[in-house]
Chain A
Amino acid sequence: MPSYKRPGALLPMSTGYCPGCLHGLATRLVADAIEELNQQKNAINVVSVGCSALNLYSWCGDDIGAAHGRAPAVATGIKRCLPDRLVFTYQGDGDLAAIGLAEIMSAANRGENFTVIFANNQTYGMTGGQMAPTTLVGQKSTTTPYGRDPVTTGYPLKMCELISVLEAPVFVARYALNSPKGVMDAKKGIKKAFELQLAGKGFTFVELLTNCPTNWGMSPLATLDYMNTNTVPYFVPGVYKDKEGGKQ
């Protein structure tokens, strides 16, 4: 049963996210999983750059800010030195799939024993809504005012699909946070990833499809519908790799 009190892993303060932003929910799901696994004092959150950085201040426990895109490299340094700690990165799509593409792919390929939480909202939220590597074809942004044109900007990057073809990762999954079922599944997925890490199994990757009412220019409710119609058909939720569960 989900708890409706504030998770112990979060400080009693506002997250700083815009109203209706699913980053807050994503942060909470991570915090819930940590609490349920009794890892508050053992977890180290490697915070990235972008809106995801806002949870640097709300975290109760050790956390460290990483340079843009470099969270998987920072987490590598930490986890190799402190192998018993629960280490995870929390990264957005610009951070992970554009400027940090080398770091995420290489850490995944080395099979580093930490967890990556990837919040994909298809935009650079903090800098004001520029095109992200995950912005959908036709989707408008401040740098694609006529909608993303694949002729000049290519196609949205599917990170779960990319990472699941590597040998080393043990668990790769994508969840959409725009429905209650998606939220429940996501929480199970995050918890499973943490459990695999604590068992020393290797690299785990959880992608969470989120929204950005502010930069998409929609009401929060409208973003959920937009996700159903546009995001989910392209970024298909599901477990892409589960080595322990027999799914390669």
Chain B
Amino acid sequence: MEKRFMKGCEAIAEAAVRGGCRFFAGYPITPQNEIPEYLSKRLPEVGGVFVQGESEVASINMVYGAAATGTRALTSSSGPGISLKAEGISYLASAQLPAVIVNISRGGPGLGSIQPAQSDYLQATKALGHGGFRAMVFAPATLQEAVDLTYNAWEYAERDRGPVLILMDGCLGAIMEEVELPEMKVLNYDNTEDWCLARVGGREDSHMITPILPELALEMLNKFKGMTYKMWEMADVKVEEYMLEDAEYVVVAYGIAARVAKEAINTLREEGFKVGMIRPITLYPFPKASLDNLDYNQVKGIIDIEMTVPAQMRDDIELQVKGRCPVHEYGRSGGILLDDEGVYGAISDIVKGGA
């Protein structure tokens, strides 16, 4: 294991390379430019390909082409660019091609703000593109977690043959922290997987990768995908449950917001208040059970903390709380960062006010 003090964007770019990524296409947009810049230098060192696309649209379609060859492919962007990639991400889903997409999100909607925000939760978890497919969404809170999730993201993408999203905000993209980098994965490309274009010499039979299907086949694919999403809920949920045993108030927060909230929870615990936290690491599949299984005779309130206004995760939370206790929300948006004092104050008001 190698330790390095790295910027968020560069850390996930390096983790991608070590996880087997050998193709990147992307288009410049703040605050994720360090990913393409890093990979334009790094990928050629390992025999990989870097292409600066003419647009977000072209870039995701280059990834679609590269993924079809069995190459581990990546693209990255921020909110406005992810909207443009929506078309290509949907095509990846229908053609059942694996790829990883990184969103270093910023204030929205529109061109919004280039400053950090968690403004793309709904886009990430409900509709990354048209047609009603889902992608697994990883939301790391530290750079170490970002490295570990990125490193293994293609295993999920290839297992279930579809796009996987890594959702971070501009703050985690820009921050520098110490990370432990895993070993370079050695991948065997000699054998052509049955889902990709033959790497050497073609095939005897016609092999077709298609984003368009006859009606019955399309319905079968959708039914199969529906079953896959159920499997994710059973097997692939990642969540951190923090001090829930005796918690009377439970904060739900992900990514950078969860770090700020945890600091506030520690302070409140020192003051004697029973506050805990559920931190979804997979935003999809959402950790439904963690919320559903809380003891609502003990829990007096749920507090949704997000760096966006209005809160976007709240619907998913309320579906599990089922009215058993009040759900509160606090956030900042537009590129204004959450901070320790503000988040402590918001949680403290609810906890101490007995709301």
Chain A residues with a Cβ under 8 A of chain B: 11, 40-44, 46, 53, 56-57, 59-67, 70, 73-82, 85, 102-103, 105-106
> Are B202 and A62 in contact, CB atoms less than 8 angstroms apart?
yes
Tell whether B67 is near chain A: CB-to-CB under 8 Å. Answer: yes
In the complex, besides A43-B202, A62-B206, A103-B57, 5 extra interface pairs with C-beta distance below 8 angstroms are A63-B209, A70-B61, A77-B25, A77-B64, A103-B58
> Are A65 and B54 in contact, CB atoms less than 8 angstroms apart?
no
Contact of B211 among A65, A73, A75 (CB under 8 A): A65
Given A60-B206, A62-B203, A73-B61, verify A80-B23 contact (CB < 8 Å): yes
* In the complex, residue of chain B having the shortest beta-carbon distance to the beta carbon of A63: B208
Can you show 27 pairs from A to B with CB atoms below 8 A apart? Answer: A41-B202, A41-B204, A44-B197, A56-B212, A59-B206, A61-B206, A61-B207, A62-B207, A64-B65, A66-B91, A67-B61, A67-B211, A74-B62, A77-B25, A77-B64, A78-B68, A80-B23, A80-B51, A81-B66, A81-B69, A82-B199, A102-B54, A102-B58, A103-B54, A103-B57, A103-B58, A103-B61
Contact of B197 among A11, A65, A70, A78 (CB under 8 A): A78
A65 to B51, CA, bound (A): 21
> Are A42 and B201 in contact, CB atoms less than 8 angstroms apart?
yes
Instruction: Please give, as numbers and ranges, the residues of chain B lying within 8 Å of A57 by CB-CB distance.
Output: 208
Interface residues of B in 175-213 (CB under 8 A from A): 197-199, 201-204, 206-212
Tell whether B78 is near chain A: CB-to-CB under 8 Å. Answer: no
Instruction: Please give, as numbers and ranges, the residues of chain A lying within 8 Å of B212 by CB-CB distance.
Output: 53, 56, 65
Given A62-B197, A106-B54, verify A56-B210 contact (CB < 8 Å): yes
> Are B209 and A65 in contact, CB atoms less than 8 angstroms apart?
yes
> Are A67 and B68 in contact, CB atoms less than 8 angstroms apart?
no
A102 to B202, CA, bound (A): 30
Tell whether B63 is near chain A: CB-to-CB under 8 Å. Answer: yes
> Are B197 and A64 in contact, CB atoms less than 8 angstroms apart?
yes
Tell whether B172 is near chain A: CB-to-CB under 8 Å. Answer: no
> Are A78 and B202 in contact, CB atoms less than 8 angstroms apart?
no
> Are B68 and A64 in contact, CB atoms less than 8 angstroms apart?
yes
Secondary structure call for the B interface: mixed
A56 to B208, CA, bound (A): 8
CB distance from B133 to the nearest CB of A (A): 15
Q: Which 5 pairs of residues, A with B, have the shortest CB-CB distance?
A: A77-B65, A41-B202, A106-B54, A73-B61, A77-B66
Instruction: Please give, as numbers and ranges, the residues of chain B lying within 8 Å of A73 by CB-CB distance.
Output: 53, 57-59, 61-62, 64-65
Instruction: Please give, as numbers and ranges, the residues of chain A lying within 8 Å of B197 by CB-CB distance.
Output: 44, 62, 64, 78, 82, 85
Instruction: Please give, as numbers and ranges, the residues of chain B lying within 8 Å of A102 by CB-CB distance.
Output: 54-55, 57-58
CB distance from A24 to the nearest CB of B (A): 18
> Are A66 and B58 in contact, CB atoms less than 8 angstroms apart?
no
A60 to B201, CA, bound (A): 14
Given A53-B212, A103-B54, A106-B54, verify A76-B206 contact (CB < 8 Å): no
Interface residues of B in 194-241 (CB under 8 A from A): 197-199, 201-204, 206-212
Interface centre among A82, A105, A106 (most CB of B within 10 A): A82
A64 to B198, CA, bound (A): 12
* In the complex, residue of chain A having the shortest beta-carbon distance to the beta carbon of B58: A73
Contact of A81 among B54, B58, B71, B210 (CB under 8 A): B71
Tell whether B73 is near chain A: CB-to-CB under 8 Å. Answer: yes
Instruction: Please give, as numbers and ranges, the residues of chain A lying within 8 Å of B51 by CB-CB distance.
Output: 76-77, 80
* In the complex, residue of chain A having the shortest beta-carbon distance to the beta carbon of B63: A77
A85 to B192, CA, bound (A): 14
> Are B210 and A65 in contact, CB atoms less than 8 angstroms apart?
yes
Given A64-B65, A64-B210, A65-B211, verify A80-B202 contact (CB < 8 Å): no
